[in-house]
Amino acid sequence: MTRAASRRQLLRSFSFASLASAVPLFRPGASLPGSTAPLLGAPPADGPGPMVRPHQGRLRRTLGVSVVEGMFSEVFTACAGATVLTAWAIALKLGPFLVGVMTALPFFAQFVQFPAAWLTGLFGHRCVALTAVCLSRVVMFPLAVLPWLGLPFESQQRLLLTVAGVSAALSVVGNNAWVAWMGELVPRAVRGRFFGRRTALTTLAGTLASLGAGLLMDRLRPADGVGVALPLLALGACVMGIVTTLFMASQHDPAPPGTTPPLELKGALVPFKDGNARRVLTYQVAWNAAVGVSAPFFALHSLQNLEMTFVIMALHAASVAGVRILAAPLWGRAIDRCGAQPVLMACSLGIAAIPALWLLPSAGTLCPLLFDVLLAGALWSGHGLAIFELPLTVAPRKNRPFYLAAFATAGGLAYTAAAALGGAIAAALPTQFTLGGHVWVNLHVLFVLSSVARLGAALLTARIPEPGAHPVRSVRALLSRLLPRPIPAHRAALDD
């Protein structure tokens, strides 16, 4: 591979590793810097360019503002992401079932993908993005004043769930419009470089912001109740919502309302009639269900059972993000050489072992999590790249928005249902029990179930087609495809 090709692959890996469709990246339930999927349905590499080419100076300023806006968006995520919401859930004494439901809300909200696409086409990218993104962030304000509202305890719990749900649904609408906006704004020729730089800087900003939020919660965390840190973070999330909206408002839209082709309702049914797309959908549903049964509870397990501080959790997340960035170019080259389907199978099989690793650490022994950092960062990185490539190869260009929306909706709903089921199972089990002379907790059962289910879902990748490539159908074929082949003796003699 030439140096130029390697550079292009590195940039693509940076940008698209976190721009997959709605398959949860890495381990949902943990706020990983740079993994908030700034593009849940990224504009495809061969998608349409800007309809009206702006002046180069104006375009350069807009793209620079977009990078800054992305960095402040990561600060918002650090103040109101999954880890902070889990802290809210613990403070308000939500049970495992409600914790699972709350952390799954961003995935359940994927059902509004189709209405979001219609709103974007009707009112324009910029208008819908500004309105929905701003509301999705300032809606956190009731949590900032929650301790002073005088609400009964159950009402406080309901308010937390309502705020989380409304924010998740509005985020999907805003993200849908923002994706379309960036697809029109960023020229195809510089898309890789722009999103590569943006993702790298937002990852750095997210890491620093997560560490700051962790320090704040550790310092001001009370023994019982909400305390001061969580309302302060909610207020910070609102402020970041206003700041990011102002930055977004300073960016122009080359495709104003009325220039976007109308969406036809019948196109929404096309993906479900396509045999190749149905196989991808089947994998999406099975995989997201397997992940969802345990994913919302890793943060809860870390805080309650492993007694990790918020700073340690932030450092763990930053380490996973660092490994992800380092591994992405390697997986990108593997996809170029072997195709996306073999990489998806390999990563899915490997990821099946990750929940089982969480049976090893205890409150006094966190060393096994080093293996989790390496496996989660490396394997989820390749999984994100592969699952981004496959839907784009399966989906025809004409109906691609509906295909991506179908994948996002099916995966999101499956994840939500599994998360609720996982919460119900954990609530029905005793908090601690003894088996085989060892003490286990109820969440360990979910981790085992998730590992087995992920393994079963990984085997479904053998049925996924990849147009223009040669997919593998067995683990043996996978090893022969991915592992380097030895050079025959007669060829080695000729080379000498």
User: Number of helices and strands (H, E) in the chain?
Assistant: 21, 2
Length of the chain: 496
Angle at 44 between CA 57 and CA 271, to 5 degrees: 150
Question: Poorest-confidence range of 164-178, 356-370, 473-487?
Answer: 473-487
Q: What angle do CA 27, 32, 34 make, to 5 degrees?
A: 120
pLDDT tens-digit map of 452-468: 999 999 999 888 877 66
- 164 and 25 in contact (C-beta within 8 Å)? no
250 closest CA partner among 24, 457, 68 = 68
> What is the rounded CA–CA span in Å between residue 185 and residue 152?
48
pLDDT exceeds 90 at position 290 = yes
Q: Which residue has the higher pLDDT, 184 or 381?
A: 381
Tens digit of pLDDT for each residue in 392-424? 666 665 666 667 677 778 888 888 889 889 989
Does the pLDDT value for residue 484 go beyond 70? no
What's the whole-number mean pLDDT along residues 443-447?
A: 94
Note the pLDDT of residue 358. 94
pLDDT at 320 over 50: yes
11-39 in b/e burial notation, b at 16+ Cβ within 10 A? bbbbbbbbbbbbbbbbbbbbbbbbbbbbb
Q: Is the pLDDT of residue 277 over 80?
A: no
| DSSP assignment letter at 54 | -
The whole-number average pLDDT for the span 70-98 is: 86
Q: What is the DSSP letter of 35?
A: -
How far apart, in whole angstroms, are the C-alpha atoms of residue 421 and residue 334? 36
Beta bridge partners of 441: 432
Q: Which residue has the higher pLDDT, 328 or 445?
A: 445
Query: Confidence class of residue 348 from pLDDT cuts 50, 70 and 90?
Result: very high
Site of tokens 């929940």: 355
Instruction: Return the top range by mean pLDDT from 22-31, 214-223, 253-262, 308-317.
Output: 308-317
Answer yes or no: are the C-beta atoms of 169 and 112 closer than 8 Å: yes
List, for residues 91-146, the tens digit of each pLDDT value: 888 888 888 888 778 778 777 877 887 787 778 778 888 999 999 999 999 999 99
Instruction: Give the residue among 353, 360, 359 at the shortest CA–CA distance from 376.
Output: 353
288 close to 411: Cβ distance less than 8 angstroms: yes
pLDDT tens profile 13-56: 333 333 333 333 333 334 444 444 433 333 443 444 444 455 67
Percent residues over pLDDT 90 in the chain:
21
Task: Report phi then psi at 110, rounded to 5.
Answer: -65, -15
Contact status, residue 386 vs residue 349, Cβ threshold 8 Å? no
pLDDT in tens, 189-200: 666 567 667 777
Residues 6+ away with beta carbon under 8 Å from 153: 92, 93
